[in-house]
Amino acid sequence: MENGNIAHPITEPVYTRAPYWQDVPDEKWMDWRWQMSNRLNTVSELEKVINLTDAERAALNANDLFRVDITPYFASLIDPNDPNCPVRKQVIPTSREMVPFQSMMEDSLAEDKHSPVPGLVHRYPDRVLMLITTQCASYCRYCTRSRIVGDPTQTFSRKEFDAQIEYIENTPQIRDVLLSGGDPMVLAPKLLDMILGRLRAIPHIEIIRIGSRVPVFLPMRVNEQFCEMVQKYHPLWLNIHVNHPKEITPELGAAMDRLTRAGVPVGNQSVLLAGVNDSVHIQRKLVHELVKIRVRPYYLYQCDLVEGSGHFRTPVSKGIEIIEGLRGHTSGYAVPTYVVDAPGGGGKIPVMPNYVLTQAPGKVVLRNFEGFITTYTEPIDYDPHAIEAQEKLIAPRPEPGQEGLLKLLDGEQMYIEPEGFSDVRARGGAEHRLRSGEISQKWQPLGVGAIESQEPQALEATTETKESA
């Protein structure tokens, strides 16, 4: 213990750098602006630190290649002689990146389709994704937003940015804003400060989140000034993006130490990538190393169906196998939620092994991570309505049009049918005596939806009529 605080083992940074940069003074090496202006992006620059393969060289010389830029710090984590190095595969292109594959899309999550204004994705009821730049510190070969990321001409204008803020100001159902891009942490510090300030001034914004890979590509950006700045805007959360334990260095640990001491809860999102981290043992090591630097594994993403990512994709069963190998085998705190971000824009869908084997009224049969099978006996006197008086004290948050299955559970609706469902089943037939608009009440379930608003006496009367019929 030190001054009442828990001592952290990482006090002095240990500088990770390739021999090529050994003579760079520490002040420069630890200056994020120096790192940004000395990024590697050409064959000749990369060859100074990495022995490139023919496939890598071919890709780097190709036209229309998704942008390449690698910070000297992150390049120093690459094994210069191993084409299978998991860090290398994430940032150095190979010719496999140019191979199209079935179901590949430019915008596989339909983000642009679900943007009320450019760069603002409003997919879920209470939160938005705000894209504030297209620039990153280094570029990941599997990037979901490669359609805009890295391209300065796609960067959001001041007018578009104002429109994003205006939309948020005028939409009180939004309580959570996630800043992403590109990478918000490459923005000029004053600009990021201004954006956070404008968001914090909106009364209905409860939390602000930043999604950033900068702490991983450029841990020196998480300096004292940055930490002081973000502290003004609490509650502020931050998610980093680490895919392999090799990326967890003393520099990243020190950056996370500064950030968590500034009161920022930090999570990690990784992408499941073939040849990088598609292994139970690598993932277990990754989550253990993350919690050691106080970063909570948050999501493990299935790789999206996006251009350039074909060779990184794994079957979904690989993700399920990884969760099988984590849940129960390590602390629940270290287990991320494995999600498939729905192609077409349906949002994140959690996927996991089956733990419920079967159920009957009063009993659920479950299995644990070892295959131990047990039963949970449910209460027979449980009253789901007993909470209602307390529930009424909490104002419900509206989710217009996005209630989903909750609508069925709440008794507002009995079923959900795809668009055109009834028309297809009508088979083009004309209205007839059994199917006219006047008698449509016969498909109205008693006590569900519209009839629910009837007085209890009216419901009883309807019941009696049915019984006597």
**Residue 123 annotated as catalytic:** yes
Q: Which of 209, 304, 313, 338 is catalytic?
A: 304
| Shortest CB 140 distance to ligand SF4, Å | 3
Say whether residue 256 binds ligand SF4 (CB under 6 A): no
Query: According to CB under 6 A, which one of 72, 93, 119, 182 is a site residue for ligand SF4?
Result: 182
Length of the chain: 469
Q: Note whether 145 binds ligand SF4 by CB under 6 A.
A: yes
C-alpha–C-alpha distance, residues 32 and 186, integer Å: 9
143 is catalytic: yes
Q: 201-240: which residues touch ligand SF4 (CB under 6 A)?
A: 213
Shortest approach of ligand SF4 to residue 137 CB, angstroms? 7
Per the annotation, the verdict on 285 as an active-site residue is: no
Catalytic position from the list 96, 327, 348, 367: 348
Specify whether 124 is catalytic. Answer: yes
CA-based nearest residue to 256, from 217, 299, 290: 290
* Active site (annotated) includes residue 200: no
The CB-based long-range contact list for 349-357 (8 Å cut-off, 24+ gap) reads: 351/302, 351/316, 351/319, 351/320, 351/323, 352/320, 352/323, 352/327, 353/320, 353/323, 353/324, 353/327
Categorise residue 103: left if φ over 0, alpha if ψ from -120 to 50, beta otherwise: left
Tell me whether residue 341 is one of the annotated catalytic residues: yes
Question: Does residue 140 touch ligand SF4 according to CB under 6 A?
Answer: yes
Residue 136 or 339: which CB sits closer to ligand SF4?
136
Whose CA is closest to 276, among 340, 211, 322?
A: 322
* Residue 167 annotated to the active site: no
Burial of 113 per CB tally in 10 Å (0-12, 13-18, 19+)? exposed
**Residue 246 CB contacts under 8 Å (≥ 6 apart), including other chains:** 77, 85, 86, 87
- 183 part of the interface to ligand SF4, by CB under 6 A: yes
Binding status of residue 143 toward ligand SF4 by CB under 6 A: yes
| 88 part of the interface to ligand SF4, by CB under 6 A | no
In angstroms, give the least distance from the CB of 210 to ligand SF4.
12
Main-chain dihedrals φ then ψ at residue 175, nearest 5 degrees: -115, -5
**Residue 244 found at the interface with ligand SF4 (CB under 6 A):** no
Active-site residue 227, yes or no? no
127 is catalytic: yes
Alpha helices in 262-341 (DSSP H): 280-292, 316-326
Q: Which residues are catalytic?
A: 123-124, 127, 136, 140, 143, 145, 304, 341, 348
Residues near ligand SF4 (CB under 6 A) are 136, 139-140, 143, 145, 149, 181-183, 213
